[in-house]
Structure 1
Amino acid sequence: MAPWLLRSCPARRVWRRWLSGDAVSPGRRTIDDPVRVFVVAGEPSGDVIGGRLLAAMRELWPASLRLSGIGGSCMEREGVKSIFEMDDLAVMGVPELLPHLITLSRRLHQAVDAAVRFDPHIIVTIDSKGFSFRFLRKIKDFCAKSKVPGPFCVHYVCPSFWAWKGGEEKLRNLSEVVDHLLCILPFEEGICKSSGLNASFVGHPVLDDAFDLAGKSADFNVIQSKWMIHGNGQKFRQDHNLTSESPVITVLPGSRAQELHKMLPIYGSALKHLSRSFPGLAAIIPTVPNRTLTGIIDMAVRDWGLPVVVVPGASLEDKYNSFAASDAALVTSGTAVMQLQMCRVPCVVAYRANILTEWIIKQRTVLKYVSLPNILLDSPAVPEALFSSCKPDRLACLLG
């Protein structure tokens, strides 16, 4: 969340109401006491959100903010020393989850223990609903059992209840563990409130990219009235020895190890198919700041048979400049789809998972699409190749 947004949107009233004592028991604290905030992010996109939120909160409480929690490099820059590696929580899907159950259980108890010792006034969990809601449940149970006032619990990024059968019923149960939901889509706030949950619409995090880049560098032209970001593609190509004539595809395979192992071989084969029709084809892969994930990518692209520019730990500027240098993109469904739309880069959305996970998704979803632009428009504006249709020749055809 950009600082100006926290100052102007309903989320600011959430924090102010809590500070004034309306959201906690009298005597819990005084206005001059330090504000202790425990933040939990389980994946890179949540870490970015957490970093921005904490930066905005520090503007409100520059001297009194005290931080702890679980996060990555963005939250660390704001002063959070993560109690363990955030990557341990980045698991999605039922079969994919099974080998990690012991680790996740240990991490859950470790997180609860750290939070209890920190004694936060506010807990913020960001996305990663499986871990986040179990964590909040244990915190609430501890406070009830110990008969002590609990922290004000906020969950940032409302779970996609609207995507699943029986989703609204599960949403109503969240009132037991969440004091306030911060929604990133405008229609979510009203539905949450009608289900008995306190909620505020605070805007989609990708829009913050425009505010972060505006005025930061001469390389960027940000048109806020149209929500467009134009990076310096020519400079990116020059810096990475890509000629102006070379066709370039940005590849965004995901931010979890399981996604990389599943999607990179498919993407590599698709680009080999495409290179037969487009001589000189090159690929760009901006990575999250994680050595393990970057190492997986480096190993995978060795067999692709075409020039690949891997940008390790890509900054926001690096990412949008790479988009500007690209003719099209291959992207695993997620936040990156919206970022590409901000740059008006044509893309194909792809997704494969364990066969059981895919079956569960097909049985439970009420949606026709998986990418947010298509969901919001209720139209296949962005081509999607999902599950059994996610094959190299199919991706090459859609890109070509």
Structure 2
Amino acid sequence: MSNTPSVPRYVIVAGEASGDILGANLIESLKKFCPDAIFEGIGGPLMAAQGFQSVVPMDRLSVMGLVEVLGRLPELLKIRKSLYQDCVDRPLTAFIGIDSPDFTLPLERRLKEKGVLTIHYVSPSVWAWRKKRIFKIKKSVDLMLALFPFELPIYQQHDISVECVGHTLADNIPLNCDQAQSREKLNIVNTAGPVFAVLPGSRRGEVERLAPLFIESMSKVLKDQPDARFIIPVVNDDRREQIASLLKGSNVDAIIVDGQSRDVMIASDAILLASGTAALEAMLVKKPMVVAYRFTKLTYAIMSRMIKVPYVSLPNLLANKALVPELIQDDATPDKLAKTLLTTWQEFKENQDIQQTYLDLHKMLRKNAGATAAQAIVDLVERKQAERKP
């Protein structure tokens, strides 16, 4: 087969909302190099707004946990097989997997064996657990696009082409955010007490495990701060209905907001959130936070034996110290979460060190990610095409 299409064609796979953000920014930047390029694969609404064609809804890939994925395995394998066949049957410029490594890396490996150029955007946490994956990664990708500087050494040690591109969120979020403006947007005015943003995750399974815990924590916060207000951003109607149902019967009168998670964070005085990209965004908007997570018991039993780093949240990994509190699994109790949230909120304004660290990390991650990633991809494509010429 010919690997070079007459019109540049990129097949991109993003499996969740954070990947959709990165994918949209990348497509926008790649179009500046090749305006007539075709972008297809699996992505979300932000990528679609850039002209991307998704063959299945992105949420079909949004599943987390070693055990949880088993129930969806037949469907995921069918989707992956279909993508592989499309990439083999129709010439493409490159395949780009954005995160979702358990889905994308095996696909990338098979495609690379067929001579397809493969790029992976967002390093798997190979530096933290399952370190032997680095050998599979080497066989799977022509280029790794990493978000964070601490991810580079393991790739360099194994002679894998890698580039640190920073994070789109760091580029898009101002160094200083306007809380009053965000409160006005959300119609949060005349607040006597603190405003807490609460983000129990975007997936149904996450919300099932974390929202009841967070609601109990909010209830306990109200005992100390009766005037406190809570805002919960949701990604879609299903999460809105799920959270509204869980709030019924509690004494917590939370405001549920469709989307606008960044404005919700900026409007808040402190944030209680599920571990993930939200913690990075909370750091970038310079808010005190408490990071919490609960896995199923079996998933946690497996993962806790494999993880080799002392932290789970990105702010702590980037700072290489306990910058923000992490309450994971059995430590994530309503009493501990409520107490830690209140303490973190009350102490933050006086803590100049953490505020300066937030700012320093934000500046470090500002690398114009989309353009930097696009340039690295275009350079790789041109180099490989030159090598193929007789």
TM-score by length of 1: 0.80
Contact 2:3 2:92 in 1 (8 A): no
Structure 2, unaligned stretches of length 5 or more? 343-390
- Paired residue for 1:159? 124
1:105 shift after superposition: 1.7
Cα 1:234–1:170 shift into 2, 3 Å: closer
Indicate whether 1:136 and 2:108 are aligned.
Answer: yes
Structure 1 position 235, deviation (Å): 5.1
Measured in 2, the distance between the counterparts of 1:397 and 1:120 equals 54
Aligned in 2, Cα 1:205/1:234: closer, same or farther, shift over 3 Å?
Answer: closer
Q: What is the CA distance between 1:286 and its match in structure 2?
A: 1.9
Q: Say whether residues 1:187 and 2:134 are aligned partners.
A: no
Report whether the alignment pairs 1:254 with 2:201.
yes
Question: Aligned pairs, how many?
Answer: 342
Give the match for residue 214 of structure 1. Answer: none
Structure 1 residue 123 corresponds to structure 2 residue 95 = yes
CA root-mean-square deviation: 2.1
Aligned to 1:356: 298
AA paired with 2:65?
A: G
% same residue: 31
AA matched with 1:249: F
Q: Which residue of 1 aligns with 2:22?
A: 49
Residues 154-176 of structure 1: per-residue CA shift (max 9 Å, x gap)? 00011111111x51x32132121
Q: How does 1:1-400 map to 2 (within 5 A)?
A: 28-29=3-4, 33-62=6-35, 64-141=36-113, 143=114, 150-164=115-129, 167=131, 169-210=132-173, 222=174, 228-233=175-180, 236-237=183-184, 239-288=186-235, 290-312=236-258, 314=259, 318-400=260-342
Q: How far off is 1:322 after superposition?
A: 1.8
User: After the TM superposition, which parts of structure 1 deviate over 6 Å for at least 4 consecutive aligned residues?
Assistant: none
**1:246 to partner: Cα distance:** 3.3
Deviation at 1:94, TM superposition (A): 1.6
1:319: how far off? Answer: 3.0
- SS where residue 32 of structure 2 aligns? helix
| Contact map agreement 1:69 1:115 (CA 8 A) in 2 | no
Q: Which string of whole-angstrom CA distances, capped at 9 and with x for unpartnered residues, describes residues 89-137 of structure 1?
A: 1112121112111221222223223333443211110011000112223
Distance 1:232 1:375, change over 3 A: closer
Q: Alignment partner of 2:302: what SS?
A: helix
1:375 CA displacement = 2.1
Amino acid aligned to 1:300: L
The secondary structure found in structure 1 opposite 2:67 is helix
The residue identity in structure 2 corresponding to 1:179 is: D
Indicate if the aligned counterparts of 2:147 and 2:167 stay in contact, CA closer than 8 A. Answer: yes
Change in Cα spacing, 1:155 to 1:324, as seen in structure 2 (3 Å) is: same
**SS across alignment from 1:310:** strand
Q: Distance in 2 between matches of 1:110 and 1:240?
A: 46
- Aligned twin of 1:5: none
AA aligned to 2:284 is: M
Encode CA deviations 1:359-380: one digit per residue, 9 max, x unaligned.
1121011112111221233322
What is the alpha-carbon distance in structure 2 between the residues aligned to residue 96 and residue 344 of structure 1?
33
Q: Aligned pair in 2 of structure 1 residues 395, 197: CA closer, same or farther (>3 Å)?
A: same
What CA distance in whole angstroms lies between the structure 2 residues aligned with 1:185 and 1:239?
32
> CA separation of 1:120/1:351 partners in 2, compared to 1, >3 Å: closer, same or farther?
same
Distance 2:209 2:331 in 1: 14
Q: Please state whether the residue corresponding to 1:124 is helix, strand or coil.
A: strand
The one-letter amino acid paired with 2:317 is I
Question: What is the SS of the residue equivalent to 1:229?
Answer: coil
Q: CA 1:303–1:390 in 2, change beyond 3 Å: closer, same or farther?
A: same
Deviates more, 1:232-241 or 1:74-83: 232-241
Report the CA distance between 1:84 and its aligned residue: 0.8
Q: Give a deviation string over 1:31-61, Cα, whole Å, max 9, x none.
A: xx31100000011101110010001111111
CA distance in 1, matches of 2:99, 2:243: 25
The one of the two structures with greater contact order (alpha-carbon pairs below 8 A, sep at least 6) is 2
User: 1-side partners of 2:8 and 2:249: how far apart?
Assistant: 51
- d(CA) in 1 for partners of 2:232, 2:87: 36
Q: Which residue of 1 aligns with 2:373?
A: none
- CA–CA separation in structure 2 for the residues paired with 1:178 and 1:136: 7
Q: For 1:297-325, what per-residue CA distance to the aligned partner results, in whole angstroms no more than 9, with x for missing partners?
A: 3333334433322221x2xxx33332222
